[in-house]
A and B are shown apart, each in its own frame.
Chain A
Amino acid sequence: MNSNATTAPGPSTGMSGAPEETLLAVQDLCSGYGPVEVLREASLSVRRGEIIALLGSNGAGKSTFINTVCGLVQPRRGAIAWMGRDITGSASPEIVAAGLIQVPEGRRVFPNLSVLDNLILGSYRRGRGARTANLERVLETFPRLRERSRQSAGTLSGGEQQMLAIGRALMGEPVLLILDEPSLGLAPVIVEEMFGLIARLNQSGLSILLVEQNVAQSLELAHRAYVMENGAVVFSGNRTELLASDRLRRAYLGA
């Protein structure tokens, strides 16, 4: 199809210190719902230590892409490799256990459960031994969650719920953390805080795949970016390369 609309740059991104090990390699992925095909041969890769931004307008297929990678939507064609192992068609519990964990769009915290129970369920696929240590680490990262640990998650503000959703994902010991629209519906100050957090998590060694509408901020943070249109990846490269394309700059940065 139109996978050659733009060509991916070589493996070197110019980022210093980024190791070359490929964590996630998605090749020509197709999937959809019922008769509707949403993803059309989308390809993407994430190397260890990278922050990758996945950009595109509403309905471009970003969430479907993520959900297919995470085993929530069945892939129809194509291949997904995780740390060199083929995981195409694997069920989500297995994928979560392998360290590929997403913070879903709309947070999807458990509103009827306490903050603490939400976090505990984040390590559902981990042993009880690891749980206590993970919990301490997450509560250290989010002191606000510690204050509210007994409160039910439904009573938290939007920003706190987003923190909880990220904290819950961290409880599962991710190797690659996928964030689907983490800034959606949050106040600018909180969004700022969120991007700062993402940068810190990355510095601590976590690889990140960031799906965002907030293109400018995402590009500042990301080592590389992919742009999706109509279920296919139409661009991949670093910030400079993306900004060099008049069409993409106009479409996604409005300038």
Chain B
Amino acid sequence: MIDGALIGAALWPALVNGLTMGAIYALIALGLTLIYGVLHIINFAHGSLLMVALYAVLVLFERLGLDPYAALVVLVPGMFALGYALQRFVINPARHGRDENTLLVTLGLSIVIENLASHFFKTDTRQIETAYTFMMVDVAGATIAMPRLLACVGALVSCLVLAVLMRYTDLGRAIRAVAREAQGARVVGIDVEHVFAMSFAIGLACLGAAACFLLPAYYVSPQVGHGFVLVAFTVVVLGGMGSFTGSLVGGLLVGVIESLGGLLLGESLGQIGVFVVFIAILLLRPSGLFGHKA
């Protein structure tokens, strides 16, 4: 039934397409893994917050005519500020010293956000059309949509910026220090509560950037976050909870698996491959998802 030669020809474009989506996954997962690694909480609101950012890009484009890429200068600081405030004034106060509470708070937050989005934006799927929406680019023989290529490059650059920030700045060092040894961090005079909020803020800033790169190549609906957050969790587990390089490699890998799955099994079944990998990892590494806590 499947023509070998046809698949051979389609393999390279599928790979390239997978990598472009994978870069976005990596950026989203990076935010998730940062929040997990430092605060030791699973941010169930990650997908809905991505959705919020996507709608923000949409509204800025439709109402103010702001180009999605130009919207970066609004979205990144905006999501950063939202993240800082959420952690400091909603999530942390509701925590009462128990991690389970955070889980419930972020889950509750995602339900509230999604219903608000359904109320204000209705449940329609919306897209934007820019001058470059239908431009195609040739990448070593594979033809891909311009917005996808830009999304890929933008996401990879964002990952790089984040890596540099984590490695070479005092804030990055403090975040890494707090992740493993919060008491030691307090001893050297690091304001640990501030670092917690900054980590959450940076995690959401990643979503802001991802939304700007994603919207021209994708769509938005109140439920759009679900698919992304599932994939992001897979990426985080695949790469190792809290690991940065893991998220990047895992993101690209999942993007490719999804794309190749779509090629071999049909577009609508593409994610099967991803979840097969997810299950396989949980089987091979039972300590995976909640390994640090059990």
Q: Across the interface, do A110 and B176 meet the contact criterion of CB distance under 8 Å?
A: yes
Verify if A182 is at the interface (C-beta below 8 Å from B).
no
- Pair A113/B177 contact, Cβ less than 8 Å: yes
Residue among A97, A101, A108 with max Cβ neighbours from chain B (10 Å): A108
Which of B176, B184, B185, B188 has the largest count of A CB atoms less than 10 A from its CB? B188
B181 touches A96 (CB 8 A): no
Contacts of A111 in B (CB 8 A): 180-181
Q: Does the CB pair A121–B179 fall under 8 Å?
A: no
Interface pair B188/A122, CB less than 8 Å apart: yes
| A168 to B189 alpha-carbon distance, docked (Å) | 11
Query: How far does the Cβ of B150 sit from chain A's closest Cβ, in whole Å?
Result: 34
A-B contact count (CB 8 A): 71
Chain B proximity of A223: nearest CB distance (Å): 25
A44 to B102, CA, bound (A): 41
Question: CB-CB < 8 A to A108: which residues of B?
Answer: 181, 183-184, 187
A72, A93, A120 — which one has the most chain B CB atoms within 10 A of its CB? A93
Q: For A168, what are the chain B residues with a Cβ–Cβ distance below 8 Å? A: 188
Give A97 to B189 CA distance when docked, in angstroms. Answer: 7
- Residue numbers in A under 8 Å from B191 (CB-CB): 91, 93
Q: Which residue of B lies closest to A72 (CB)?
A: B186
The distance in angstroms between the C-alpha atoms of A210 and B180, with both chains bound, is 26
In chain B, what residue has the closest Cβ to A98?
Answer: B189
B interface bracket (residues with beta carbon within 8 Å of A): 10 to 19
Q: How far, in angstroms, from A214 to B186 measured CA to CA in the complex?
A: 26
Contact A112/B188 with A120-B173, A121-B173, A124-B170 known, Cβ cut-off 8 Å: no
A96 touches B189 (CB 8 A): yes
Q: Of residues A95, A103, A109, which shows the largest number of chain B Cβ atoms within 10 Å of its Cβ?
A: A109
CA distance A236 to B189 in the complex (A): 30
Least CB distance from A123 to B in Å reads: 8
Contacting pair B179 A112 (CB below 8 A)? yes
Given A117-B173, A121-B174, does the pair A104, B183 have CB atoms closer than 8 Å?
yes
Complex partner residue of B180 from A112, A122, A169, CB under 8 angstroms: A112
Q: How far, in whole Å, are A152 and B203 apart by their CA atoms in the complex?
A: 25
Scoring B residues 178 to 219 as 1 if CB is less than 8 Å from chain A, else 0, what string do you get? 011101111111110000000000000000000000000000
A-B contacts besides A92-B186, A124-B190, 7 pairs, CB < 8 Å: A93-B191, A97-B189, A107-B184, A108-B181, A110-B177, A113-B173, A122-B188
30 sample A-B contacts, Cβ–Cβ < 8 Å, listed by A number:
A72-B186, A72-B187, A91-B191, A93-B190, A95-B189, A96-B189, A97-B189, A101-B187, A101-B188, A101-B189, A104-B183, A104-B184, A107-B184, A108-B181, A108-B187, A109-B181, A110-B176, A110-B177, A110-B180, A111-B180, A113-B173, A113-B176, A113-B180, A117-B176, A120-B170, A120-B173, A124-B170, A124-B174, A125-B188, A172-B188
Name the 10 nearest CB pairs between A and B, nearest first: A96-B189, A108-B184, A125-B189, A93-B189, A110-B177, A112-B180, A110-B181, A104-B187, A93-B191, A117-B173
- Show the binding face of B for A, using Cβ within 8 Å: 170, 173-174, 176-177, 179-181, 183-191
Interface residues, chain A, with chain B CB atoms under 8 Å away: 70, 72, 91-93, 95-97, 101-104, 107-113, 117, 120-122, 124-125, 168-169, 172
